[in-house]
């Protein structure tokens, strides 16, 4: 019974935790701009992230070492610095976007200007990473994030997509001059879904939860069902934006525009549901991002780390959390639209994906780490395919960002 | 870095070989973004009066649209791809009128919200037309 509960909780948290500011930004932009023509990118990204999340959990459960610590140990300090630095840059932007997303969520509920709400949101994130137990951080916002399932209900309430819109699934309408924007959004979606911070967080979380070989089935189920169902909420957002925003020539460039889809479906309740969904998903993502950086740095430098430890027992880990949160907060206070920050963060993530993902190929075939649980042949073929995809995405993401104007 | 440079070169070449087909000019992008914000503002005001969003949601989102349109009148004419002044000036005037609506949006029943709606919609349509 306890096991079943654990599995259910794992799946629910993965569903609720799938969406963040980056996913909302890219999904809304995709739906409003190209109908269902970018659903393929979301599906492709989901397949990749299922594979990678399963591997990062398996690595931590079998070897007892999270991903960042394994990179440092197996590849040496110099290589470890590359994914760390790229993660620091991309995640600072994403953290600022998520803090802004939280603030806009409260702003839409209260009417208070969102820039004034950034400091209390940052304070809440700090209090939670400082004092809250890991289980609360992992499960609290994610369970509240299940409100994102209302996006799916919203599609039903609006009567579902029209046949014309459904046709855009395989035959998207891309106007003259829009190819760069279309391809840029595709790479940004992949960058938003295949977030390396999720992998660092997930494998460290597996250690926080003291996973062992007995948890491998839980890991597999969480990765497959949780991430699989989680992507449904993002796809639902694409569909909603395509149904409501696209016909009105609204391109989903600000978060409040995205909420109009839910208002169309459910009236004021829908608008409030969107605001709550925005706040909780961005809170969950902000916590994961801050912790993933703390884990990454502490594990790489061999410091004490973990949410189970009191701050005084892991002072440098907690200092990194504070400094990183301060960096994200500083950017968020400039008042740059969180959606734009999230798009840039996702594009930068896409640019650096191969650096963060390449170590999987080596580590997951190393019997010193995985013993009899090393990758099977099909796993390796899939990893190589994901790396190939990451490589292409990395090569084109920056030029596309410049050409499409972000 | 070399590969990213190669990627840049490849995409720039594609872009140069098919001018206008692959990318939009900065003017077109900004004009379309502005049109989107104006459409969203119009939808928000309409939703307030049809009971689809409450006053707080509207105030918060309208202030975001106002922010995103800040300085647009002076920015648009200087962007690459902008049409000449005789074509653009009427659109800029419409944009200015729309921005005045956003400065004082009609969210109650004692003002003419339908007039505001058409001001916003007209400016949005004009921006889309000039960006075609």
- Provide residues of B within 8 Å CB-CB of chain A: 3-4, 6-8, 10-12, 15, 20-24, 26, 28-29, 32-33, 35-37, 39-40, 43-44, 47, 51-57, 59-61, 63-65, 67-68, 124, 128
Cα–Cα dist A54/A49, whole Å: 8
- Chain A residues touching residue B64 (CB < 8 angstroms): 104, 114, 254-256, 337
DSSP string for A331-373: HHTTT--HHHHHHHHHHHHHHHHHHHHHHHHHHTT-HHHHGGG
The residue of B6, B36, B63, B122 whose CB has the most chain A CBs within 10 angstroms, and thus the best one to mutate to test that interface, is B36
Task: Give the gap in angstroms from C-alpha B45 to the nearest C-alpha of chain A.
Answer: 11
Is B11's CB within 8 Å of A396's CB?
yes
What is the structure's pLDDT at B43?
96
| B90 to chain A, closest Cα gap in Å | 21
Q: What is the mean pLDDT of residues B30-40?
A: 94
Size of interface A-B (CB pairs under 8 A): 142
Query: Which residue from A383, A392, A47 is spatially nearest to A400, judged by alpha carbons?
Result: A392
- pLDDT for the residue A19: 81
Best of A266, A268, A273, A274 to mutate (most B CBs within 10 Å, chain B) = A268
The answer to whether the CB atoms of A250 and B36 lie below 8 A apart is yes
Q: From the CA of A248, how many Å to the nearest CA of chain B?
A: 7
Residues in chain A within 8 Å Cβ distance of B126: none
A179 interaction partners in chain B (CB closer than 8 Å): 21-23
Q: Is the pTM of this model over 0.80?
A: yes
Q: A110–B47: do the CB atoms touch at under 8 Å?
A: no
User: A389 to chain B, minimum CA–CA distance in Å?
Assistant: 14
Specify the DSSP element, H or E, that contains B96: helix B85-103
Judging contacts by C-beta atoms under 8 Å, the chain B residues touching residue A337 are 64, 67-68
pLDDT of residue A132: 82
Beta-carbon contacts of residue B69 (< 8 Å; ≥ 6 apart): B34, B37, B38, B95, B98, B99, B102
Tell if the CB–CB gap between A403 and B23 is shorter than 8 Å. yes
For B52, the closest of A114, A251, A264 (CB atoms) is A264
- Give the burial class of A234: count Cβ atoms within 10 A of its Cβ; 0-12 exposed, 13-18 middle, 19 or more buried: buried
Question: Over chain B, what is the mean pLDDT?
Answer: 87
Q: How far off is chain B from A141, nearest CA to CA, in Å?
A: 22
- Residue A260 has φ and ψ, to the nearest 5°, of -60, -30
- Among the residues of A20-167, which ranges form H helices? 21-34, 39-63, 67-110, 118-131, 134-144, 150-157, 163-167
Q: What is the pLDDT along chain A (406 residues), one digit of tens a residue?
A: 566 666 665 666 666 567 888 888 889 999 999 999 999 999 999 999 999 999 999 999 999 999 999 999 999 998 899 888 888 998 999 999 999 999 999 999 999 999 999 999 999 999 998 888 877 887 777 778 788 889 999 999 999 999 999 999 999 888 878 888 899 889 888 888 888 888 888 888 888 888 899 999 989 988 888 888 888 999 999 999 999 999 999 988 888 899 999 999 999 999 999 999 999 989 988 998 999 899 999 999 988 888 778 888 889 999 999 999 999 999 999 888 888 888 888 878 877 888 888 998 999 999 999 999 999 999 999 999 999 988 888 888 777 777 766 5
Interchain proximity B52–A111, CB inside 8 Å: no
Side-chain half-sphere exposure of A97, counting CA atoms within 13 A: 29
CA distance A259 to chain B (A): 9
Q: Cα dihedral sign for A226, A54, A376, A362?
A: positive
**A246: nearest CA partner in chain B:** B36
A185 CB contacts (<8 Å, ≥6 apart)? A26, A29, A30, A33, A34, A38, A41
Q: Which of B2, B22, B45 is the mutation pick for testing A, counting most A CBs within 10 A?
A: B22
User: Which residues of chain B are within 8 Å of residue A260 when distances are taken between CB atoms?
Assistant: 40, 43-44, 47, 53
Quote the pLDDT of residue A143.
79
d(CA A303, CA A297): 8
Could you tell me where the beta strands, DSSP code E, fall in A190-290? none
What ipTM was estimated for this complex?
0.87
Residue B32 has pLDDT above 60, yes or no: yes
The residue among B21 and A376 whose pLDDT is bigger is: A376
């Amino acid at each position: 019974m306890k096991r079943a509960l654990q599995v259910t909780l794992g799946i629910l948290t993965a569903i609720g935790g799938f969406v963040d500011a980056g996913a909302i930004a890219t999904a809304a932009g995709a739906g409003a701009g190209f109908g269902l023509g970018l659903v393929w990118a979301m599906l492709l990204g989901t397949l990749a992230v299922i594979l990678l999340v399963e591997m990062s959990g398996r690595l931590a459960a079998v070897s007892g070492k999270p991903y960042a610590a394994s990179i440092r140990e197996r590849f040496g300090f110099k290589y470890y610095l590359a994914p760390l630095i790229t993660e620091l840059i991309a995640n600072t932007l994403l953290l600022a976007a998520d803090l802004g997303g939280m603030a806009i969520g409260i702003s839409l509920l209260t009417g208070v200007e969102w820039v004034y709400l950034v400091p209390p949101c940052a304070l809440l994130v700090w209090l939670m990473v400082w004092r809250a137990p890991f289980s609360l951080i992992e499960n609290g916002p994610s369970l509240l994030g299940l409100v994102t399932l209302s996006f799916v209900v919203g599609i039903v309430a609006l009567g579902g997509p029209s046949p014309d819109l459904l046709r855009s699934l395989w035959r998207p309408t891309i106007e003259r001059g829009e190819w760069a924007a279309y391809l840029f959004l595709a790479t940004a979606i992949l960058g938003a879904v295949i977030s390396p911070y999720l992998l660092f967080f997930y494998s460290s979380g597996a250690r926080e939860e003291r996973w062992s070989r007995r948890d491998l089935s839980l890991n597999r189920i969480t990765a497959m069902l949780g991430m699989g169902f989680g992507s449904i909420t993002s796809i639902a957002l694409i569909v909603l934006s395509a149904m409501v925003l696209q016909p009105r020539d609204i391109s989903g460039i600000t978060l409040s525009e995205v909420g109009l889809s839910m208002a169309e479906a459910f009236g004021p309740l829908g608008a409030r549901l969107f605001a709550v969904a925005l706040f909780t998903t961005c809170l969950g993502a902000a916590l994961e991002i801050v912790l993933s950086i703390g884990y990454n740095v502490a594990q790489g430098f061999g410091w004490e780390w973990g949410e189970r430890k009191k701050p005084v027992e892991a002072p440098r880990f907690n200092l990194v959390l504070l400094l990183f949160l301060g960096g994200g907060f500083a950017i968020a206070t400039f008042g740059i639209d969180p959606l734009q920050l999230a798009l840039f963060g996702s594009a930068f993530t896409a640019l650096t994906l191969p650096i963060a993902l390449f170590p999987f190929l080596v580590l997951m075939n190393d019997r010193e780490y995985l013993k009899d649980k090393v990758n099977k042949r099909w796993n390796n073929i899939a990893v190589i395919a994901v790396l190939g995809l990451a490589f292409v995405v990395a090569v084109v993401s920056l030029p596309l960002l410049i050409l499409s104007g972000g | 870095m070399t590969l990213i440079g190669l990627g840049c070169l490849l995409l720039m070449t594609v872009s140069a070989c098919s001018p206008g087909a692959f990318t939009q000019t900065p003017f077109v992008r900004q004009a379309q973004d502005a049109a989107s914000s104006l459409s969203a503002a119009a939808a928000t005001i309409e939703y307030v009066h049809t009971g689809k969003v409450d006053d707080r949601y509207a105030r918060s989102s309208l202030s975001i649209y106002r922010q995103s349109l800040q300085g647009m009148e002076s920015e648009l004419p200087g962007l690459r791809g902008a049409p000449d002044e005789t074509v653009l000036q009427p659109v800029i005037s419409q944009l200015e009128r729309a921005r005045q609506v956003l400065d004082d949006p009609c969210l109650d029943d004692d003002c003419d919200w339908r007039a505001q709606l058409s001001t916003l919609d007209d400016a949005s349509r004009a921006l889309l037309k000039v960006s075609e």
